[in-house]
Amino acid sequence: MIDLDKQPGISFDGIFLLTENFYRIPSMPDKLKIDINFSMVLNSSNDSFSNELTTNLVCFSEDNEKVLNFEFTFVGIFSVISEEKNMDIKHFMEHNSPAIIFPYIREHITNITQKAGINPILLPPVNILAMTKGIKNNIK
């Protein structure tokens, strides 16, 4: 049983950019329609766990021409730090780890789009549980 007064006994050990692919057309329109999708791969090795969270951002012009495609994967590394862990690691990895990684995704999208010479794309707040609800995972 989870004790709501205790920490989960899980550590966030780091994050890194694993892959990235970016394309935009030379002449970008001012108004963009944005489509964003996520996929997640969870891995484990002893007491170390990782979440490979891939983001695919596609932007379209008002006449539905694809004008930008941006796909990248961040890997968050986590570990169990206590023999008396207070949260199921599978639950943590499926529900909590995306919430920890998401601010890095938001910042990366804003910075890269700004550096690409277009208006920076600012992602709105996202319901992480709803976002990951349809993603089926098994920790390997």
Question: What are the angstrom distances between the C-alpha of 52 and each of 15, 34, 59, 118, 131?
Answer: 10, 22, 23, 27, 15
At residue 138 the predicted structure's pLDDT band, cuts being 50, 70 and 90, is very low
Q: Longest Cα pair distance anywhere in the chain, in angstroms?
A: 56
Residue 60 CB burial class (10 angstroms; 0-12, 13-18, ≥19): middle
Token pair listed for 41: 């791969």
Contact status, residue 53 vs residue 40, Cβ threshold 8 Å: yes
Q: What is the pLDDT of residues 4-51, one digit of tens each?
A: 666 667 889 999 999 999 999 999 998 999 999 999 999 988 778 999
Q: What is the pLDDT of residue 98?
A: 93
Place of tokens 């791969």: 41
Q: What is the pLDDT of residue 94?
A: 87
Token pair listed for 93: 């990895």
Place of tokens 């205790």: 6
pTM attached to this predicted model: 0.86
What's 10-133's CATH class? alpha beta
Q: What is the mean pLDDT of the chain?
A: 87
Contact status, residue 70 vs residue 40, Cβ threshold 8 Å: no
Would you tell me how many other CB atoms lie within 10 Å of the CB of residue 92? 20
Q: What is the pLDDT of residue 89?
A: 81
Q: In this predicted model, which residue has the larger pLDDT, 105 or 80? A: 105
Per domain, the residue ranges of the chain are 10-133
